[in-house]
């Protein structure tokens, strides 16, 4: 091969190598370019994922707050701050729509932290959060409302002037230069017009489609948060208010009274309670109908609202009874307030019914008693003194100077356990005696001890007894005593008798008390003799309950004369004995027995009604049924 041929062959080899290198370089460049695109796509997807995570985190925070039962203002403040921080907005707020004497306007309901607003507030005559913002005059707002759509605008000047129209032009450029924003986004809250809009300031001139979709979802969560918070508020109000009058209910009043007791006791300051009872409600109901009776009750509630200070607590306790708690008011001030209420009721006639009146009682902490339960009792006693002495008047309570009914009951129980031959285990006798002795020595409110001892004694011969019913019986007996206007002395005797009336059972044989089957005539005679056993063998030796014995002896006498032990009838039976009989029967019916299941309260009431004018007079039955039905409705 010649030199020329070798040169041509060498050239071909070089070209082949160059072609191979070029082809490899091209492949390498293609791979490199693909890698660059892939890395860019990965970065974009990562950013999208991070953005989605931030949005989900924001929604999660909203959901957690919604389920925390926090106040709405707290939820919304946290929400706008999370929106600003987690999604990178410069500022966010919620505008609330209002319509009042100033017309339609908006005010700041919640706002995130932003130093710009400190500057804006310096330039305004009053802080922006106290102003009526005429935001609805803007065309962009009208468009958002009309179409219910999210709108973004880069015209920050227009947005600021629309939001704060009274800002001076000379300050406008200064404020705009401080925003470092390029747009604002307006998100209407469609389901709740009264809340208006969510507004965010963004450093981005245009929002992505995903961002706008998120803001729409965010707005829906805000609306849900508002709905839930409103429901919490409604439920709370229903739990503490009386539905007929919208005054506070008994539960709230008792909680407020406990708090006021702690405060007053610590600071040694008085507070007063005014008890109010509408006069002749039954006559109004009978003559004009229950609708007008309700109107009379509402009238008193309106007067109480008009005459109460912001710190006073006016409550409907039940039926036609009301209480007003007056923090920091002594007896002199309370009497003035009570007389003002009485006069307002007297001079506020109701259409068709005419004039109505009320009887009022006043008691003051530290003046009349330093015990809350005792203070309530004194208030009631003063109120019913007004009722018994002609109605339409105010009575000041008198401090308890004589021995209280609790002391009488404590001493009686203590003497029974130490002297009477009652059929209870020795260890239980010692335990109950110790409880009574401690209550006397410590000089504290003895009611809980009395109820515990009474329940324990009944359970010793009746295992089906419901613990706590002794207290319920005394409370209901006291309420019935008020309704029949028993004096304080008679009401106190009833309370003691209500605790002691069944002590005769402690001396009856267990084989009779727990017998699963009909009693023999001899056994029935033994049972029917137990009121006399209680009176003669247990109570007569006790010096401090002599006046209670006649009530207990007659508590099984029936209205039609078919009771025992003396076959008394009608008015020969003391009202207190009749009250014990009906309460004893009711609570026996709702407790299980060896020979039957417990009845429901409503079934028990039907049994009580069937024996009206047989076992008990119909007037008592009517009052008792109303009392129980009120308590049952409260518990539902």
Active site residues: 320
Could you tell me if 296 and 282 are in contact, meaning their C-beta atoms sit under 8 angstroms apart?
Answer: no
Could you tell me if 492 and 476 are in contact, meaning their C-beta atoms sit under 8 angstroms apart?
Answer: no
Token pair of 151 as six digits = 């709108």
Token pair of 308 as six digits = 């109460």
Tell me how far apart the alpha carbons of residues 372 and 323 are, in angstroms, rounded to a whole number: 14
Tell me how far apart the alpha carbons of residues 125 and 459 are, in angstroms, rounded to a whole number: 74
Q: What is the DSSP string of 495-527?
A: HHHHHHTTGGGGGS-HHHHT-SSPPPHHHHHHH
Find all residues with CB under 8 Å of 277, minimum gap 6, and list them: 320, 321, 322, 358, 359, 360, 383, 384, 387
Burial of 221 (0-12, 13-18, 19+ CB in 10 A): middle
Could you tell me if 290 and 400 are in contact, meaning their C-beta atoms sit under 8 angstroms apart?
Answer: no
Q: Which residues pair with 104 in a beta bridge?
A: 99
Of 374, 184, 188, whose CA–CA distance to 273 is shortest? 374
Residue 282 parent element (H or E): helix 281-288
Find all residues with CB under 8 Å of 185, minimum gap 6, and list them: 150, 151, 152, 199, 200, 202, 207, 212, 215
Could you tell me if 338 and 362 are in contact, meaning their C-beta atoms sit under 8 angstroms apart?
Answer: yes
Which contacts of 160-166 are long-range, i.e. CB under 8 A and separated by 24 or more positions?
162/134, 162/135, 162/137, 162/138, 163/133, 163/135, 164/120, 164/124, 164/128, 164/131, 164/133, 165/134, 165/137, 166/124, 166/125
Using omega within 30 degrees of 0 as the cis cutoff, is the peptide bond preceding 416 cis? no
Tell me how far apart the alpha carbons of residues 392 and 277 are, in angstroms, rounded to a whole number: 9
Alpha helices (H) along 397-487 = 405-419, 426-442, 447-461, 469-483
Residue 358 parent element (H or E): strand 358-364
Tell me how far apart the alpha carbons of residues 292 and 355 are, in angstroms, rounded to a whole number: 12
Could you tell me if 172 and 161 are in contact, meaning their C-beta atoms sit under 8 angstroms apart?
Answer: yes
């Amino acid at each position: 091969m010649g030199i020329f041929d070798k040169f041509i062959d060498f050239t071909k080899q070089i070209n082949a190598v160059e072609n191979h290198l070029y082809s490899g370089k091209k492949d390498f460049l293609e791979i490199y370019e693909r890698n660059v695109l892939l890395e860019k796509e990965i970065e974009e997807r990562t950013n999208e994922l991070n953005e989605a995570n931030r949005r989900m985190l924001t929604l999660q925070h909203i959901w957690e707050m919604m389920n925390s039962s926090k106040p709405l203002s707290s939820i919304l403040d946290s929400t706008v701050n999370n929106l600003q921080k987690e999604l990178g907005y410069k500022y966010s707020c919620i505008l609330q729509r209002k319509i009042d004497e100033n017309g339609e306007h908006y005010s700041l309901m919640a706002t995130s932290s932003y130093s710009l607003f400190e500057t804006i507030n310096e330039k305004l005559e009053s802080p922006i959060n106290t102003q009526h913002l005429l935001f609805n005059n803007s065309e962009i707002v009208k468009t958002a409302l009309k179409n219910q759509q999210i709108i973004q605008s880069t015209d920050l000047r227009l947005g600021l002037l629309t939001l704060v129209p009274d800002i001076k032009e000379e300050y406008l450029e200064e404020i705009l230069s401080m925003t470092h924003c390029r747009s604002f986004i307006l998100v209407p809250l469609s389901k709740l017009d009264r809340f208006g809009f969510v507004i965010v300031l963004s450093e981005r001139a245009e929002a992505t489609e995903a961002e706008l979709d998120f803001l729409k979802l965010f707005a829906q969560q805000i609306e849900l948060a508002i709905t839930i918070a409103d429901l919490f508020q409604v439920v709370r109000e229903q739990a503490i208010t009386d539905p007929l009058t919208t005054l506070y209910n008994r539960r709230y009043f008792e909680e407020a009274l406990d708090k006021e007791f702690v405060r007053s006791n610590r600071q040694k300051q008085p507070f007063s309670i005014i008890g109010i009872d509408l006069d002749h409600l039954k006559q109004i109901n009978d003559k004009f109908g229950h609708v007008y009776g309700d109107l009379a009750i509402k009238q008193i509630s309106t007067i109480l609202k008009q005459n109460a200070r912001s710190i006073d607590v006016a409550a409907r306790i039940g039926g036609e009874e009301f209480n007003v708690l007056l923090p920091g008011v002594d007896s002199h001030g309370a009497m003035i307030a009570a007389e003002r209420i009485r006069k307002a009721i007297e001079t506020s006639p109701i259409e068709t019914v005419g004039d109505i009146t009320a009887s009022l009682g006043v008691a003051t902490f530290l003046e009349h008693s330093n015990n809350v339960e005792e203070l309530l009792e004194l208030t009631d006693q003063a109120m019913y003194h007004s009722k018994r002495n002609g109605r339409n008047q105010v009575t000041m309570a008198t401090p308890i100077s004589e021995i209280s009914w609790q002391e009488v009951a404590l001493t009686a129980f203590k003497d029974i356990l130490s002297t009477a031959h009652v059929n209870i285990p020795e260890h239980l006798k010692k335990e109950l005696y110790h409880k009574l002795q401690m209550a006397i020595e410590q000089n504290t409110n003895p009611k809980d001890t009395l109820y515990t001892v009474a329940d324990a004694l009944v359970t010793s011969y009746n295992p089906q007894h419901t613990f706590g019913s002794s207290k319920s019986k005394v409370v209901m007996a006291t309420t019935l005593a008020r309704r029949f206007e028993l004096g304080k002395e008679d009401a106190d005797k009833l309370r003691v008798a209500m605790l002691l009336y069944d002590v005769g059972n402690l001396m009856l044989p267990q084989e009779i008390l727990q017998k699963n089957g009909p009693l023999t005539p001899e056994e029935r005679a033994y049972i029917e003799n137990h009121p006399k056993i209680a009176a003669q063998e247990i109570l007569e030796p006790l010096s401090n309950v002599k006046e209670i014995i006649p009530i207990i002896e007659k508590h099984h006498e029936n209205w039609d004369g078919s009771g025992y032990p003396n076959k008394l009838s009608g008015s020969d039976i003391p009202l207190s004995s009749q009250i014990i009989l009906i309460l004893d029967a009711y609570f026996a019916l709702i407790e299980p027995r060896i020979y039957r299941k417990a009845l429901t309260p409503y079934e028990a009431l039907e049994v009580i009604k069937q024996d009206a004018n047989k076992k008990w007079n119909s007037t008592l039955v009517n009052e008792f049924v109303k009392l129980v039905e009120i308590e049952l409705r409260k518990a539902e």
